[in-house]
Chains A and B, each alone.
Chain A
Amino acid sequence: MARKSLQRLCEQHEVLDLLAVCESAREAHELLAAQEVDLILLDVEMPEQSGFELLAQLAFVPQVVLITSKTEYAFDAFQYQVTDYLQKPITPPRFKLAIEKVLDLHRRKNAVQRPSGTKSTSN
């Protein structure tokens, strides 16, 4: 249900281009190995493997917004240098704020490059 809400928030956002919704960390890992994305909206608690375990396996880590219903992961989130941390259930204003942070960082990183939309994946 949280995933459905998140998917809708992504689809309604004027800048985000939702590339995929993954059911598991393994599926996300396979997708991220094959396709470059600018942003992952990542649930910390997933079956089989946590969001942090997924991040530890990635060769290239794009911007990450962590999604969780626990506040106790904040320290781990800080260690992984995630862009933002959203607590479920996610409100539209808080989601927009997180995406503004992502876009701001994206613009700063690409200041000398041609501006483009932000691609995202969520799981």
Chain B
Amino acid sequence: MFPNPPPYTLDRDRLSDLYGGDAAYAADLFATFLEIVWPEMALMETHVARQNWLELGRAAHKYKPSLGMVGLSELEAQLLRIEVAAKNSLQPEQIEALYRQCALEIAQMIPTLRAELQRLLLQANPGSANPRP
């Protein structure tokens, strides 16, 4: 069985606006997203399980810019939809469905982000064959 292709491509225009040609800077923030932000986003699952929509909305608001910073503009917009849905007390099933879709698509984008991090690290350190195992 073939793995699903990533649902989105990275927003290269956005990444160019944010980092210009500074690969080391971009790599630093991609690594921060993969090592710190994404694992922390798992807490959103707890808010959904507890139907704590206020906290889910807050978390969506908090993580939204981080998705933009790694070129996931469509998913940033999805987090905004979750934030608004939670704030406006939409039906719990609707909020949960929005969250599930977003969480799935973020997970599907992780290999793309890891590959991009490796590319950026090689670009920043051209002499290094395997900059981050």
Please report A residues at the B interface, Cβ cutoff 8 Å.
1-2, 4-5, 8, 45, 69-70, 88-89, 91-93
Contact = CB atoms under 8 A, between A and B. Distances in A.
Given A2-B65, A2-B66, A89-B65, 20 more contacts: A1-B29, A1-B32, A1-B33, A1-B36, A1-B37, A1-B65, A1-B69, A2-B69, A4-B28, A5-B18, A5-B29, A5-B69, A8-B25, A8-B28, A69-B61, A69-B65, A70-B61, A88-B68, A91-B17, A92-B18
Interface residues on B, range: 10 to 19
A45 B69 contact: no
A108 B19 CA distance: 31
B131 interface: no
Contacts of A89: 18, 65-66, 68-69
B65 A88 contact: yes
Contacts of B68: 88-89
A70 B37 CA distance: 20
Contacts of A88: 65, 68
A4 to B, nearest CB: 6
A88 B68 CA distance: 9
Nearest to A90: B18
Contacts of B25: 8
Given A5-B69, A89-B69, A69 B64 contact: yes
Sorted nearest first, the 5 A-B pairs with minimum C-beta distance are: A88-B65, A1-B66, A89-B69, A89-B65, A89-B68
Nearest to A9: B25
Interface in B10-28: 17-20, 25, 28
Contacts of A93: 17
A91 B32 CA distance: 17
A17 B69 CA distance: 25
Nearest to B68: A89
